[in-house]
Amino acid sequence: MSRLALEKLKERFPQAVLDTHDFRHDETAIVATESLKEICRFLRDDPELRFDMLTDATAVDYLLDPARTAPRFEVVYHLYSTSKRRRLRLKVQVGTPEAGRAERAGSGANPSEGDRAGEPEVDSLCELWPIANWLEREIWDMYGLRFRGHPELRRILLYEEFVGHPLRKDYPKDKRQPLVRRPEPEIAEVLARRGRARSLGDGTSPAEKR
Amino acid sequence: MEITPHAEGELPIEPSVINMGPSHPAMHGNIHIKLTLDGERVRDAEVNIGYLHRGFEKECEAHCWQQIFPYTDRLNYVSPMLNNVGWALAVEKLLGVTAPERAQYLRVIVGEIARICDHLTYLAAQVMEMGAFTPYFYLMKGRDWLWDMLEEISGARLTHSYVRIGGVAWDLPEGVKEKTLEILPKVEGILDEVDHLMTRNRIFLDRMEGIAVISGEEAVGYSWTGPCLRASGVDYDVRKAAPYLVYDRMDFEIPICSTGDNLARYLVRLEEVRQSRRIIEQALAQLPAGPVLLDDRRVTLPPKAATYNTIEDMIAHFKLVVDGICPPKGEVYSYTEAGNGELGFYIVSDGTGRPVKVRCRPPCFMGMAALSRLIKGHLIADIIPTFDTINMIGGECDR
Amino acid sequence: MGLEFTTGRLADAVNWARKFSLFQYPFVTACCAMEYMALWGPRYDVARFGAEFPRFSPRQADMLMIVGTVSERNAPVLRRIYEQICEPKWVIAFGVCASSGGFYQNYAVTPGIDHVIPVDVYIPGCPPRPEAVLDALVMLQERIQNGEGWSQRQYRLDQERARLGLAEGSRP
């Protein structure tokens, strides 16, 4: 990947770069959330680095990591320079540590239901790379992290009526929120008679009602 | 709806909003495009994806590392082997192991066959959706021959799950090498027929040339990779830029086009099939003898005879199946050249048998992000060829 | 040639015509689409069964073939298309994802389209081989001939209710 990029970053933004590592030769820098946009602009425009492609952006939820003291979420950006053939991973950590510890202890409101305190914010990179528009919408959809300055932060993979953010660790995998009221009465009866009525786990199945 | 005067002395125009999809024959699955039309011209387009979101990432968090292969098959389902290879390489990077040489060659061979299948399917859909039905049947015939080969190798026509962490599941059956070498020229013959029918066809050129042009810099801004990016003049192919497996030993070229329109994306894929054929033939010629699975009990299952007869191997088998492979704690991003471009897997491990995070970086998601910019200003009839050239595969785009 | 002889009952003749001229509406979503494409191809050739040409408008179709996974987001779309198809109509669930959700048992996927619409034939397989699909098509054709399709039965039930003077939707 790119040791040069890490060195230049540490030189130019000594306070903002919190940590670096290169596990399996993937150079990674954890940076302060406030300086993210400035750092990305530098990485994109610096003539020696020229990271012109935002290959990927995603988030990770470390709720279930017992030893972790850092904030709960990490937003991970992968950058690539098509001319220099170099890669870099940038990470920012969001979600207040107190909230993270409270969630791990099981106390406090359940942030999966989308209350404001549980929606940490990061600066949007839409100005720098157009693809950030959709990538950030997906992070919002799946993790509930807001992006300041995003023109249109709405769900992309799921439907608007969906409540919660499914890739968070406290969202149960098979908690369905069906859009179609079901089952239809005739189908429900037939399914029940054939012994095929399945429980949807949300108390609406006719098999449970009987 | 604002009413805008069209030009001096002309009647005012009210743009109409119509829905294209989500269930639409040319929407390759389900894509919803909300078009704001000025007559036949697209003034604005809002592209809505996500109708095939199947929770790939959430499922992966609930499964062991080696159980994820069937899910990766169904990402880009027209070239499942390439996704399998990408996933295996990602976990192997995390583990810090390398598959044996023969397995690497086999991965290249099946991966390139899958790439040919991907491009043949793209061609079939492209021309059929523009109204040319004949090449579709020729290409289906060719694809069925290739699927026969993949079925002999892996056991399934489509969702193979042939690759394993540490190698491939089993060796090539007898006779496959010869049959593949027989079939490849026939498949290229079909490609030549389709090329002959379409590439200089007046109607085809009118619908493809100069439509939906995107420059190299803009494409890079949208994180395009793969044939679409190479059609805009940017020389980036993971197999050459950062060679993996045994691609550095193969002699092949990367087709690049400078115009960045629909025709360019079509031509690049056409030529890539020929290059893939070269790679397969070279790989089959160079195929070394040797094991196809790493002999490492932390990673691969022991052979059945050993599992039944020795206690160490039985315990190893038990641990691998019940706990799963336990890679070291850490995170990696591993990338390969899939049918549509750079297929990346960003995986985070906490040392247990199940991942903390699996992110699939889908190449066609980036293509779709640029779709509304591509079709703005063009006719409704131009939407279909443009959408086809992006080769959106729902399983990969929506995961 | 193999001309089938009608037994003199009009219903049989009509069903015979229906079964050999199915107009599919392919509600295609996912990987099963690849096998669906192969079905149209020259080797498996669904045209031999009369069910070749798809009609991309639900008004012009009579068989709804759900090919691939139906996500929760897609379920209302599916329901709407089903309602738009005119009677008599038949439904084939192509693949395990359409039949039961497949191995995607999570928040995003409808666990089988029979939670949304009534299904006549289920084709298991991930994806099913084209031969399995043709087998299912022949099975559906037999059902159509015997009048056992869901909408055909509903029609007879409605007729019974009308004859007995019962309200719509009640048990005759």
Q: Choosing among A28, A30, A40, A58, which should be mutated to test the B contact, i.e. which has the most B CBs within 10 A?
A: A58
Which residue carries 């109607």 as its tokens?
B203
Strand, coil or helix: what is A104? helix
The C-alpha angle with vertex B86 and arms to B83 and B90, in degrees rounded to 5, equals 140
- A24-54 burial: b if 16+ Cβ within 10 Å, else e: bebbbbbbebebbbebbebbbeeeebbbbbb
This prediction's pTM: 0.89
Predicted pLDDT of residue A135: 94
For chain B, positions 121-150, list CB contacts with chain C under 8 A: 121, 124, 136-137, 140-141, 143-144, 147
Residues of chain A neighbouring C116 (CB-CB closer than 8 A):
180, 182, 184
Distance of CA B16 to the CA centre of its chain: 35
Q: Which of B385, B390, B388 is nearest to B340 (CA)?
A: B390
User: Average pLDDT for residues B236-248, to the nearest whole number?
Assistant: 92
Question: Does the structure show a pLDDT above 90 at B23?
Answer: no
Same structural domain, A201 and A163: no
Predicted pLDDT of residue A198: 52
- Confidence band of C56 (pLDDT split at 50, 70, 90): confident
**Greater model confidence, B67 or A207:** B67
**Greater model confidence, A178 or B247:** B247
Q: Which of C107, C114, C121 is nearest to C22 (CA)?
A: C121
The C-alpha angle with vertex A8 and arms to A4 and A9, in degrees rounded to 5, equals 115
- C65-101 burial: b if 16+ Cβ within 10 Å, else e: bbbbbbbbbbbebbbebbeebeebbbbbbbbbbbbbb
Closest residue of chain A to B362, computed from CA coordinates: A56
User: Average pLDDT for residues C32-61, to the nearest whole number?
Assistant: 87
The C-alpha angle with vertex A169 and arms to A163 and A173, in degrees rounded to 5, equals 65
Q: CB under 8 Å to C148, separation ≥6 — which residues?
A: none
Q: Flag if B54 and C74 touch (Cβ within 8 Å).
A: no
Instruction: Confirm or reject contact between A181 and chain C (CB < 8 A).
Output: no
Asked if A20 and A28 count as a contact pair (C-beta separation under 8 A), the reply is: yes
Q: Flag if B30 and C29 touch (Cβ within 8 Å).
A: yes
Chain A: closest CA distance from residue C19 (Å): 24
Phi and psi, residue C78, nearest 5°: -60, -45
For chain A, positions 93-122, list CB contacts with chain B under 8 A: none
Instruction: Confirm or reject contact between A163 and chain C (CB < 8 A).
Output: no
The C-alpha angle with vertex A34 and arms to A29 and A39, in degrees rounded to 5, equals 50
- Confidence band of A209 (pLDDT split at 50, 70, 90): very low
Give Rg (Cα) of chain A: 22
Please write the tens of the pLDDT for every residue from C78-136: 989 999 998 889 999 999 999 998 889 899 999 888 888 889 999 999 999 999 999 99
Which residue carries 């490609």 as its tokens?
B191
Predicted pLDDT of residue A201: 46
Predicted pLDDT of residue B130: 87
Predicted pLDDT of residue A96: 62
Domain count of chain A? 2
Instruction: Confirm or reject contact between A137 and chain B (CB < 8 A).
Output: no
Spatial distance between the Cα atoms of B381 and B391, rounded to a whole number of angstroms: 17
User: Average pLDDT for residues C2-30, to the nearest whole number?
Assistant: 77
Same structural domain, A85 and A99: yes
Q: CB under 8 Å to C35, separation ≥6 — which residues?
A: B157, B158, C127, C128, C129, C130, C133
Give chain B's mean pLDDT.
Answer: 91
Strand, coil or helix: what is A138? helix
Spatial distance between the Cα atoms of B39 and C156, rounded to a whole number of angstroms: 47
Q: Flag if C107 and A200 touch (Cβ within 8 Å).
A: no
- Paired tokens of B241: 């830029």
E strand residue ranges, chain B: 4-5, 12-13, 16-20, 32-38, 41-48, 163-164, 167-168, 330-338, 341-349, 357-361
Instruction: Give the HSE-up count for residue B18: Cα atoms under 13 Å, Cβ half-sphere.
Output: 11
Same structural domain, A106 and A206: no
Same structural domain, A150 and A192: no
* Count of CB atoms situated within 10 Å of the CB of B250: 20
Predicted pLDDT of residue A182: 62
What are the CB-based long-range contacts (under 8 Å, 24+) for B230-234?
A: B230/B254, B230/B255, B230/B256, B230/B257, B230/B268, B231/B256, B231/B257, B231/B259, B231/B260, B231/B261, B231/B264, B231/B265, B231/B267, B231/B268, B232/B257, B232/B258, B232/B260, B232/B264, B233/B257, B233/B258, B233/B260, B234/A82
Asked if B31 and B395 count as a contact pair (C-beta separation under 8 A), the reply is: no
Q: How distant, in Å, are the alpha carbons of B193, C35, C50, C130 from that of C41?
A: 17, 10, 14, 10
- Paired tokens of C6: 């009608």
Predicted pLDDT of residue B269: 94
Predicted pLDDT of residue B281: 94
For chain A, positions 119-158, list CB contacts with chain C under 8 A: 158
Same structural domain, A123 and A204: no
Residue B23 carries which side chain, given as an amino acid letter? Answer: S
Domains of chain C: 13-164 (3.40.50.12280)
Instruction: Confirm or reject contact between A194 and chain C (CB < 8 A).
Output: no
Q: Which of B91, B154, B66, B79 is nearest to B330 (CA)?
A: B91
- Paired tokens of B327: 């890679």
Predicted pLDDT of residue C45: 85
Predicted pLDDT of residue A206: 45
Domain assignments of chain B as residue spans, ordered by start: 4-48, 65-397
**Crossing angle between the packed helical segments B176-198 and B262-286, to the nearest 10 degrees:** 160
HEC string for B167-231 = EECCCCCCCHHHHHHHHHHHHHHHHHHHHHHHCCCHHHHHHHCCCCCCCHHHHHHCCCCCHHHHC
- Paired tokens of C119: 């299904």
What distance, in Å, lies between the first and last C-alpha atoms of chain B?
35
Q: Flag if A53 and B223 touch (Cβ within 8 Å).
A: yes
Instruction: Confirm or reject contact between A84 and chain B (CB < 8 A).
Output: no
Predicted pLDDT of residue B98: 93
Chain C: closest CA distance from residue A202 (Å): 12
Chain C: closest CA distance from residue A187 (Å): 6
Using CB atoms, pick whichever of C73, C111, C118 lies closest to residue A187: C118
Please write the tens of the pLDDT for every residue from A157-185: 999 889 889 999 989 888 888 887 665 55
Using CB atoms, pick whichever of A171, A176, A179 lies closest to residue C76: A179
Instruction: Confirm or reject contact between A209 and chain C (CB < 8 A).
Output: no
CATH architecture of B65-397: Orthogonal Bundle (1.10)
**Greater model confidence, C162 or A128:** A128
| A–B CB contacts, 8 A cutoff, strictly below | 95
User: Average pLDDT for residues C2-14, to the nearest whole number?
Assistant: 63
Instruction: Confirm or reject contact between B58 and chain A (CB < 8 A).
Output: yes
Same structural domain, A154 and A182: no
Q: Choosing among A160, A175, A179, which should be mutated to test the C contact, i.e. which has the most C CBs within 10 A?
A: A179
Q: How distant, in Å, are the alpha carbons of B230, B237, B337, B340 from that of B226?
A: 6, 6, 7, 5
Q: Flag if B77 and C41 touch (Cβ within 8 Å).
A: no
Please write the tens of the pLDDT for every residue from A43-96: 999 898 889 999 999 999 998 888 888 888 999 999 999 998 999 999 999 886
Question: Does the structure show a pLDDT above 90 at A98?
Answer: no
Instruction: Give the HSE-up count for residue B43: Cα atoms under 13 Å, Cβ half-sphere.
Output: 12
Asked if A72 and A95 count as a contact pair (C-beta separation under 8 A), the reply is: yes
Predicted pLDDT of residue A203: 47
Q: Flag if B52 and C104 touch (Cβ within 8 Å).
A: no
Among A170-179, A188-197, B156-165, C23-32, name the one with the lowest average pLDDT: A188-197
- B137-155 burial: b if 16+ Cβ within 10 Å, else e: bbbbbbbbbbbebbeebbe
Q: Choosing among C45, C71, C77, C81, which should be mutated to test the B contact, i.e. which has the most B CBs within 10 A?
A: C71
Predicted pLDDT of residue A119: 79
Chain B: closest CA distance from residue A123 (Å): 18
Question: Does the structure show a pLDDT above 50 at B337?
Answer: yes
* Count of CB atoms situated within 10 Å of the CB of A23: 16
Length of chain C measured in residues: 172
For chain B, positions 90-109, list CB contacts with chain A under 8 A: 93-94, 96
Q: Flag if C30 and B74 touch (Cβ within 8 Å).
A: yes
**Range(s) of the domain holding residue A201:** 178-210
Please write the tens of the pLDDT for every residue from B342-396: 999 999 999 888 999 999 999 999 999 999 999 999 999 999 899 999 999 988 9
Same structural domain, A60 and A147: yes
ipTM of the complex: 0.89
Predicted pLDDT of residue C93: 94
* Count of CB atoms situated within 10 Å of the CB of B251: 8
Spatial distance between the Cα atoms of B200 and B196, rounded to a whole number of angstroms: 7
- Confidence band of C149 (pLDDT split at 50, 70, 90): confident
Bridge partners of residue B12, in order along the sequence: B5
Using CB atoms, pick whichever of A159, A175, A183 lies closest to residue C73: A159
Q: Flag if B346 and A166 touch (Cβ within 8 Å).
A: no
Q: CB under 8 Å to A169, separation ≥6 — which residues?
A: A61, A63, A64
Same structural domain, A164 and A183: no
Beta-sheet pairing, C24-28 with C90-94: unpaired
Same structural domain, A210 and A169: no
Residues of chain C neighbouring A191 (CB-CB closer than 8 A):
114
Same structural domain, A31 and A110: yes
Question: Does the structure show a pLDDT above 50 at B215?
Answer: yes
Closest residue of chain C to A161, computed from CA coordinates: C73
Instruction: Confirm or reject contact between A117 and chain C (CB < 8 A).
Output: no
Spatial distance between the Cα atoms of A210 and A192, rounded to a whole number of angstroms: 10
Instruction: Confirm or reject contact between B77 and chain A (CB < 8 A).
Output: no
Q: CB under 8 Å to A58, separation ≥6 — which residues?
A: A75, A76, A135, A138, A139, B346, B357, B359
Here the CATH number for the domain that contains residue A94 is 3.30.460.80
Among A27-36, A185-194, B206-215, C16-25, name the one with the lowest average pLDDT: A185-194
Residues of chain A neighbouring B96 (CB-CB closer than 8 A):
24
User: Average pLDDT for residues C41-57, to the nearest whole number?
Assistant: 85
Same structural domain, A58 and A79: yes
User: Average pLDDT for residues C37-44, to the nearest whole number?
Assistant: 88
Question: Does the structure show a pLDDT above 70 at C37?
Answer: yes
Closest residue of chain A to C106, computed from CA coordinates: A174
Same structural domain, A107 and A205: no
